[in-house]
Amino acid sequence: MKKVGLYFGTFNPIHNGHIALGNYFIKYTDLDEIQFVVSPQNPFKKDQEILAEQHRLEMVRLALEKIPHFNYSDVEFSLPKPSYTIDTLKQLKKKGPEVSFVVLMGEDNLAYFDQWKEYKSILELVDLYVYPREHQNTIPKSLLNHPKIQLVPAPKLDFASQNIRKILHEGGAIKSMIPASIVDYLEENKFYQ
């Protein structure tokens, strides 16, 4: 059975940290593919400057087009907004019943995973592979010791879309932080300036 890691994000914009993390999961875990799921609206990110979903999807497509084992999905674009992981998983399971899905998640999200819509149902459908992320919250012991949650010792990557947007607002250089095709796309469209 094909095992696909679902990497959810607003990808506002996608950056080298996202790609490096995806590469880590392909190289060091049992995943066959990473699917970057572009979220039109994250229920926990209400007040951020978010580009239109089609632009973020196009940047993800451009960034991933030559990388083996990487794919992208706009499955959430046709679901009610905001996007809830449980609804997306049910939709993906319907489309690909022969696929074993794993949700990739940062520790910062695991700290409040028990507040997600139907989080227990999510754990019935999929495993979680959790990577290190800076956070101040305590992760509930019930989640740390859960048989469906695996902590993966991926490197902590010091990239954040928020920082990239800030640098762009200030007219700084971001070429080392995002794929070249995305630099061109952002410059052509004058995004985040």
d(CA 75, CA 54): 12
Write down the pTM of the prediction: 0.93
pLDDT-derived band at 26, boundaries 50, 70, 90: very high
6-10, 126-130, 145-149, 189-193: segment of lowest average pLDDT:
189-193
Mean pLDDT calculated for residue range 143-172: 90
SS3 assignment, position 3: strand
Mean pLDDT calculated for residue range 130-154: 93
Domain residues of the chain, as ranges? 3-158
Task: Classify domain 3-158 at the CATH topology level.
Answer: Rossmann fold (3.40.50)
- Do 177 and 26 contact (CB within 8 A), yes or no? no
Mean pLDDT calculated for residue range 91-95: 95
Closest by CA to 76, choosing from 99, 60, 63, 98, is 60
